[in-house]
Structure 1
Amino acid sequence: MRGVILLSVLLCATCHLALSATNGTAARNGTVADGLLDNGNFESAPNATNMKGTVVVGRYAIPGWINEGFVEYIKSGQKQGDMLLVVPEGAYAVRLGNEASIKQAIKVIVGLYYSITFSAARTCAQEERLNVTVAPDSGVLPIQTVYSSNGWDSYAWAFKAIAAVIELIIHNTGKEEDPACGPLIDAVAIKALYPPRATNKNILKNAGFEEGAYIFPNTPWGVLIPPNIEDDHSPLPGWMVESLKAVKYIDSDHYFVPQGRRAVELVAGKESAIAQIARTTIGKTYRLSFSVGDANNSCVGSMVVEAFAGKDTLKVPYESKGTGGFKRAVLTFLAVSTRTRVMFLSTFYTMRSDDFSSLCGPVVDDVKLLSVHQP
């Protein structure tokens, strides 16, 4: 009996150590923890002596950040002409004018992948883009398409750390006549990404989308995962966004999710697709199963998810009431290659019934790929 008790104690201690390993390692190494960066929501304000109206004066005026060029410090509720500027995280944000940047040095673990999440809103420019850089990686994210009803969207972008201290740069590439016609930036966070592995229960990696970018707890609009043409490293490990537009990464705190705590919403029709390359054996039969549903976000109407596996396809219709729900679908196929591309896309564009300016779409989750001979 004493041996059983001792074994139980050891098992509990092992579980506790495993659960706290990530945060413990980060604390010991002095590296950044998952969540907001230093003054990531810009609530620590510049001194009054470093402000000229809304314009920030001095490269080190904003605590935790280095700013270059025409940068404004914006309070929520501030007006620009007929436009009311809102802030999603706290009461303050920054606005980047023409060729303006904000920078921050971050301690990380060399060789690890990370995802940056930040919220942004366009103001009065026509084609606003943000260049996100952690050397040697860089990507330009277009923000002119608005997916949320209040004008703010959260974006994710991933990189691989090649040094113990990296510099994150968010840069406005615009060249507007009015330097104030730049995007608003708020709530900048980071999250370490851990490459998922295939198992004997699922050939696909991260098939439930549980590993991914940081999602802000106070911003109920998910996170946009950019196409791989804009990001060399996916913020959704195991998956590639093989399309012209982003997909939305959603959580169960704010949306209906078929399984677990995370899922993907295909928000831009055939321009919104996710894919993964799986190892298969030529001549073997495989079973691809997955969930299709809606996110309980007033996305109402007839939806269709198209699934592709090698040379085989399946169209899965889903009649959405916009109140949450899902169904399972199965695509059985014969492998014709040692590498099989699995892809999902939405056939149609859909707009939210309570907001005809916001794109939405079907949810994909709980994807499983197995040989039919496996249990």
Structure 2
Amino acid sequence: MWLKSRVLLLLLCATCHTAVSFTNGLLPNGNFEYGPKPWEMKGTKVMASRAIPKWEISGYVEYIKSGQKQGDMLLIVPEGAYAVRLGNEASIKQKVKVVKGMYYSITFSAARTCAQEETLNVSVAPNSEANDWGMLPMQTMYSSNGWDSYAWGFQADDKEIAISIHNPGVAEDPACGPLIDSVALKALYPPRRTRANLLKNGNFEEGPYVFPTASWGVLIPPNIEDDHSPLPGWMIESLKAVKYIDSDHFAVPEGKRGVELVAGKESALSQVVFTIPNRVYVLSFSVGDANNSCEGSMVVEAFAGLDTVKVPYESKGKGGFKRAKLRFKAISKRTRVMFLSTYYTMKNDNSGSLCGPVLDDVKLLSVRKARV
């Protein structure tokens, strides 16, 4: 009996770091609540590459407890009691079993510590001949508590992938890297155009995983193309991110999800749609505020073909929306529909956090099908 138990224990230990089958939500130990043994650490630094259960690490990685102090800085963790900090050229990696050819989105939370000019490299391997990867800038923080959640999309080129988050930073102090917490994965089902809407995912219901306990939304990073976008159908053609929000934490005009244009004209959302030249179309959409203390005069600009419309919205920061329309004539077989916010807006909670108007329920129809 003792021998059988011993063999079973050895088998379990041997599979501790093999790939796990994926279901939507946090990766195994995705919030880092299970940490290294005391003898696998030196202070806060993790000394063994597989000391954090389910993860493989490289470089200068620290295991941080919420409330820990670094000089005059108090380190806060958004979920649970623990997070990891990535020093210069440090990374964390986990293997996951997925469906080959399926689209997925990674969502994770991150915060700067003492270094300001931060970027993170998110990658998936194997992916064809080279890793599928993206650089996510962290210079601008959008939430009031110092933590932001980011989303990044990819298509799985194999049945088993390795998800990696890497800090390519070169800060003088390796302990100044970003904190990482709550890493999740979600399968995406690219929506199709219908007779009721020529745009894909016009209500934004298909998108990245949103943490149930996170009240700050999920950032869709800049320069995201539509092939592997974590917001299927849409591209972020701008220098700054847009924020994906949910009705559990924000006011959303329609359904469960919407988009907040948080960085003025640097935060542009677009989609290319098939049109018939010289035919007239109507683009309709909702503009509102997210009930997140974002007050003041807002304007959403919509563009299609050679036409544009500016939609003003006076926000009291307590929710609400109005409908707007743009009537235009198509000039080619492909028309780019784009939205942006005219002004920069900040929350009135003294945090200095960027915010902006909410966009939702976007529809495009030819004039013979639309009610005008």
Report how far residue 355 of structure 1 moved. 2.9
**1:31 aligned residue:** 21
**2:150 aligned residue:** 155
Q: TM-score, normalised by structure 1?
A: 0.91
Selected match of 1:166 from 157, 161, 174 = 161
**1:9 aligned residue:** none
**1:95 aligned residue:** 85
Report how far residue 31 of structure 1 moved. 3.2
Contact 1:95 1:182 in 2 (8 A): yes
Structure 2 residue 296 is the aligned partner of structure 1 residue 306: no
Contact 2:225 2:236 in 1 (8 A): no
* SS, match of residue 329 in structure 1: strand
Structure 2 residue 52 is the aligned partner of structure 1 residue 62: yes
Distance between the aligned counterparts of 1:355 and 1:121, measured in 2?
Answer: 19
Distance between the aligned counterparts of 1:331 and 1:149, measured in 2?
Answer: 34
**1:258 aligned residue:** 253
Query: Structure 1 counterpart of 2:215, which letter?
Result: P
Contact 2:118 2:169 in 1 (8 A): yes
Distance between the aligned counterparts of 2:148 and 2:177, measured in 1?
Answer: 15
**1:331 aligned residue:** 326
Distance between the aligned counterparts of 1:232 and 1:42, measured in 2?
Answer: 31
Q: TM-score, normalised by structure 2?
A: 0.91
User: C-alpha deviations, 1:161-189, integer Å up to 9, x for none?
Assistant: 00100011100011111110100000000
User: C-alpha deviations, 1:219-275, integer Å up to 9, x for none?
Assistant: 100000012358962100000001010000000000000000000000000000100
Contact 1:158 1:231 in 2 (8 A): no
How many equivalent residue pairs?
A: 346
User: C-alpha deviations, 1:77-128, integer Å up to 9, x for none?
Assistant: 0000111000011000000001000000011100011000000000001211
Percent identity between the two aligned chains? 72
Once superposed, what is the RMSD of the aligned Cα atoms? 1.1
Report how far residue 149 of structure 1 moved. 1.1
**1:27 aligned residue:** none
User: C-alpha deviations, 1:294-351, integer Å up to 9, x for none?
Assistant: 0000000000000001111000000000000000000001111111100000000000
Please identify runs of 4+ aligned residues in structure 1 that moved more than 2 A. 228-232
Query: Structure 1 counterpart of 2:27, which letter?
Result: L
The gaps in structure 2 that reach 5 residues or longer are 1-19, 126-130
Contact 2:65 2:81 in 1 (8 A): yes
User: C-alpha deviations, 1:47-79, integer Å up to 9, x for none?
Assistant: 111011111010000001000010000000000
**2:105 aligned residue:** 115
Distance between the aligned counterparts of 2:111 and 2:227, measured in 1?
Answer: 24
The gaps in structure 1 that reach 5 residues or longer are 1-29
Selected match of 1:132 from 94, 101, 122 = 122
Distance between the aligned counterparts of 2:25 and 2:309, measured in 1?
Answer: 39
Contact 1:140 1:230 in 2 (8 A): no
**2:136 aligned residue:** 141
